[in-house]
Structure 1
Amino acid sequence: MRRMTSPSARPMSPLEWGLLLALSVLWGGSFFFTHIAIGALPPFTIVTLRVGFAAFILAAVLPLFGLRLPADARIWAAFLGMGLLNNVVPFCLIVWGQTHIASGLAAILNATTPLWTVVVAHVATAEERMTGNRLTGVLIGLAGVALMIGPELLRGLGTDILAQFAVLGAAVSYAFAAIYGRRFRRMGVPPMVTATGQVSASALVLAPVCLAVDQPWALTMPSFTVWAAILGLAALSTALAYILYFRILTTAGATNLALVTFLIPVSAIVLGVLVLGERLQVKHFVGMAVIGLALAAIDGRLLRIFSPKALA
């Protein structure tokens, strides 16, 4: 009997790597958009507008692809679970955390997601077991992110401990979401439908919380720049990003998908150069090189280079 191979057990294809890079750019831009919005709006309002607009956009686009949201209560229960793990909990924790700690430190803490995913996948699944090269690659990647962001941000590691634990909690939530989201493939739910259902369920959960806590009717009307940032968060960093997310999850697996958190800081730096005119420093190039080494290790390419017979 032929053994079924897990998506994460094989190297990713060029198309999957391309989608992963695109996703890292979309999510890397979310730090930029959040930085603009957080100065004018409270966290729950930002997150509610983000998933609410994303749900509206995806629901409007869905019929163009001949798709529609299912009526099955079992699938909607799964949407709710995915929305809590992948949107409600991590979005709120990260946005709140960014009000207390530097975004660079938040990026380092968020980059622990692949490590948690490897651990969760090893415990919760029979297919995505931890391997030596996978764990080694994750640890190398964390070192690369730390090098690229810079050691000066680590000096504040002892302060605002609750905010730091909040971002770490978001990383753990993302890890569980990556494993939980594998069920939609078995249910036969297309990636775009899953993305739409997830953010729709998230919006339904967050709307009453936002109304009760932030009382948005009492807030000052945001500027055009803030509204543009919210639209960028919703359309690019959420709606389009989650279409790619579930596409990668379906074909490449949870552990490979989690590699995107290593690429997000790289994308954020590149966007800073192109949009804000920032300059890359030597540490950024070193960090990018180390991250590339980590990705190759987790993908298995280094193992084939140094031990060609290992995968024969």
Structure 2
Amino acid sequence: MPLASTLRMALLALLWGSGFLWIKLALHHGLSPLQITVARCALGAAVLLVLALAARQRLPRDRRTWTHLLVAAFFCNALPFALFAIGEQTVDSGTAGVLNATTPLWALLLGLALGTDRPLSPARLTGLLLGFTGILLIFAPWQRAGLMTGGSLALLGAAVSYAVAFAYMGRHLTGRDAPLAVSAAQLLAATGWAATGLATTGWATTG
């Protein structure tokens, strides 16, 4: 792999992986899970809107696309972002990252259940079992007490939500023109979902 590509991958891994630490810090500074969710969605939407504008890409205009974006935004952004913040109220950020790593495994299981993925060959079955075994070894639940708590279940729920979103987006949103604008629209929709939840539950911080 070229050095430039390696550096980009390393930067992406750093930005993606550090998200759980920033969630934990935000919780420690008194923000509620829904406030964190609104902030993540709104900031992401703002950045993508600027990039879409620079690339001269326009937001979708048809109702059907926006309907698909509302569903995708709920399962890929609003719901898992909220669940990660809820889970990290009682679970450390390292464990949150490990549980998030189960997303591809849930996506594979979901694809098999829905019949949208390739049949499970012996090699793929071996890979699936090795993946779950690896996560189990890293997670090491036998060495820690109280891992199957509400917080851990919320984190697992977030990973499953991502898997549902990827299956839905693969069927209804993949391959569209103006990808930056479509992504910006999705995060705008997610901001709306999160803001609605925040308005319903109140704006008070946890501190």
TM-score, normalised via structure 1 length: 0.57
Q: Does 1:104 align with 2:94?
A: yes
Deviations 1:220-276 (A, max 9, x none): 9x9xxxxxxxxxxxxxxxxxxxxxxxxxxxxxxxxxxxxxxxxxxxxxxxxxxxxxx
Deviations 1:75-113 (A, max 9, x none): 111111110010111111111011012233333332222
CA distance in 2, matches of 1:22, 1:137: 27
Partner of 2:57 in structure 1? 67
Partner of 1:166 in structure 2? 154
Asked if structure 2 preserves the Cα contact closer than 8 Å seen for 1:100 and 1:163, the reply is yes
Deviation of 1:134 (Å):
2.5
Pairs within 5 Å for 1:28-47? 28-40=17-29, 41-47=31-37
Partner of 1:138 in structure 2? 128
CA distance in 2, matches of 1:66, 1:118: 35
CA distance in 1, matches of 2:53, 2:60: 12
Structure 1 residues 133 and 154, CA gap change in structure 2 (3 angstroms): farther
Q: Does 1:193 align with 2:181?
A: yes
Amino acid in structure 1 at the alignment position of 2:173? F
Q: Does 1:26 align with 2:12?
A: no
Pairs within 5 Å for 1:113-132? 113-132=103-122
Deviations 1:40-78 (A, max 9, x none): 211100110110121122112212112110111111111
CA distance in 1, matches of 2:97, 2:137: 12
Q: Does 1:203 align with 2:191?
A: yes
Amino acid in structure 1 at the alignment position of 2:108? V
Q: Which runs of 5+ in 1 are unaligned?
A: 1-12, 223-312
Deviation of 1:21 (Å):
5.8
Residue correspondences, number: 203
Structure 1 residues 124 and 22, CA gap change in structure 2 (3 angstroms): farther
Structure 1 residues 123 and 147, CA gap change in structure 2 (3 angstroms): closer
Structure 1 residues 162 and 118, CA gap change in structure 2 (3 angstroms): same
Structure 1 residues 180 and 192, CA gap change in structure 2 (3 angstroms): same
Structure 1 residues 105 and 212, CA gap change in structure 2 (3 angstroms): same
Structure 1 residues 127 and 102, CA gap change in structure 2 (3 angstroms): closer
**CA RMSD between the two structures:** 2.8
**Residue aligned with 1:155, SS:** coil
**Residue aligned with 1:156, SS:** coil
Deviations 1:155-198 (A, max 9, x none): 3324xx22222111111111111111112235x23432232111
Structure 1 residues 88 and 129, CA gap change in structure 2 (3 angstroms): farther
Q: Which of 45, 60, 64 pairs up with 1:55?
A: 45
Q: Which runs of 5+ in 2 are unaligned?
A: none
**Residue aligned with 1:114, SS:** helix
Structure 1 residues 152 and 38, CA gap change in structure 2 (3 angstroms): farther
CA distance in 2, matches of 1:215, 1:147: 40
Q: Identical aligned pairs, as a percentage?
A: 31
Deviation of 1:148 (Å):
4.3
Asked if structure 2 preserves the Cα contact closer than 8 Å seen for 1:45 and 1:214, the reply is no
Structure 1 residues 151 and 157, CA gap change in structure 2 (3 angstroms): closer
**Residue aligned with 1:204, SS:** helix
Name the larger-Rg structure.
1
Partner of 1:180 in structure 2? 168
